[in-house]
């Protein structure tokens, strides 16, 4: 049996042809956590793609869009929680682009994390320019999640690890010095894989879930394991995370 892979952060609904991207992921045995940016996008994606054994739809409220979400859209987020076991993309963005909506972002993120149902989901979390603030909020809420495309300091990463957080690694991170330094510092049992497709590029083209195979090859080199062993490590990490957050549910 060829190895099974996972892309824990992909914006499937942002490709011109999500069905084709998902079909390629299925062919390459890549489970896709298809994050969304708003509850409306989540509903549209569910309607369009329906059930697929390789699809894990994620309910999102992207920090850079939260400032523009109407109160009713925020309520829609909570109303849709029962429809999925994956929540993302959520988080904080205190980079230049996110600064103006910092207060609203904090309010929504804290409210999401305070919901007990959310703590029983797999969370994929954005923290650009807000590593310390994001890690602190997760810790205060007693939530465990996946820090996606983490670009904060190693000191804050240590704190996140101590609180049980996971990190998802993408092709860009393995190419950059800063990203590699982080990946080298992470214990392998806390590493997951992502593409952040189509936003993360491979060469000049948008990445797709199929690029996870290359990410795993990069990890295999760092870990001195075979590619198949490394793929297994990543899948076991997801299974362990799922079991930790949803102990009473059957692992799907
Ligand atoms: Mn993203």
pLDDT in tens, 196-245: 999 999 999 999 999 999 999 999 999 999 999 999 999 999 999 999 99
Condensed to tens digits (0 to 9), the pLDDT of residues 165-183 reads: 999 999 999 999 999 999 9
Q: Residues 75, 111: contact at Cβ < 8 Å?
A: no
The C-alpha atoms of residue 113 and residue 101 are separated, in whole angstroms, by: 18
Condensed to tens digits (0 to 9), the pLDDT of residues 29-58 reads: 999 999 999 999 999 999 999 899 999 999
Query: How far, in whole angstroms, is CA 137 from its chain's centroid?
Result: 17
Distance 241 CA to ligand 1 centre (A): 20
Q: Residues 86, 71: contact at Cβ < 8 Å?
A: no
The C-alpha atoms of residue 187 and residue 249 are separated, in whole angstroms, by: 27
Distance 218 CA to ligand 1 centre (A): 21
Residue 252: per-residue pLDDT:
43
In the predicted structure, residue 95 carries a pLDDT above the cut 80: yes
Distance 146 CA to ligand 1 centre (A): 12
Entry pTM = 0.96
Look at the chain and count its residues.
Answer: 252
Query: How far, in whole angstroms, is CA 212 from its chain's centroid?
Result: 13
Query: How far, in whole angstroms, is CA 20 from its chain's centroid?
Result: 21
The C-alpha atoms of residue 188 and residue 162 are separated, in whole angstroms, by: 14
Q: For tokens 């491979």, what's the residue?
A: 202
Distance 247 CA to ligand 1 centre (A): 27
pLDDT-derived band of residue 246, with 50, 70 and 90 as boundaries?
confident
Give me the mean pLDDT over the 147-172 stretch: 98
Distance 11 CA to ligand 1 centre (A): 6
CA-based torsion, 112, 242, 174, 178: positive or negative = positive
Distance 12 CA to ligand 1 centre (A): 10
- The torsion region of residue 167 among left (phi > 0), alpha (psi -120 to 50) and beta comes to beta
Rounded-to-5 percentages of helix, strand, coil across the chain: 50, 15, 30
């Amino acid at each position: 049996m060829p190895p099974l892979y996972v892309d824990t952060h992909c914006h499937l609904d942002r490709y011109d042809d999500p069905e084709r991207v998902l079909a390629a992921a299925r062919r390459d045995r890549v489970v896709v956590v298809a994050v969304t940016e708003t509850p409306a996008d989540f509903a549209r994606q569910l309607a369009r793609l329906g059930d697929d054994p390789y699809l894990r739809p994620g309910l999102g409220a992207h920090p850079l869009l939260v400032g523009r979400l109407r109160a009713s859209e925020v309520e829609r987020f909570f109303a849709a929680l029962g429809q999925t076991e994956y929540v993302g993309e959520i988080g904080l963005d205190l980079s230049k682009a996110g600064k103006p909506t910092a207060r609203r972002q904090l309010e929504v993120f804290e409210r999401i994390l305070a919901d007990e149902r959310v703590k029983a989901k797999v969370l994929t979390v954005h923290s650009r320019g807000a590593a310390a603030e994001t890690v602190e909020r997760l810790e205060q809420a007693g939530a465990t999640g996946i820090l996606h495309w983490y670009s904060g300091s190693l000191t804050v990463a240590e704190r996140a690890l101590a609180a049980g957080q996971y990190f998802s690694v993408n092709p860009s991170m393995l190419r950059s010095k800063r990203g590699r330094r982080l990946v080298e510092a992470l214990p392998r049992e806390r590493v997951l894989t992502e593409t952040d497709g189509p936003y993360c590029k491979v060469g000049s083209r948008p990445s797709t879930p199929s690029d996870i195979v290359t990410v795993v090859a990069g990890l295999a080199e760092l870990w001195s394991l075979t590619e198949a062993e490394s793929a297994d490590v990543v899948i076991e990490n997801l299974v362990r995370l799922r079991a930790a957050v949803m102990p009473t549910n059957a692992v799907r």
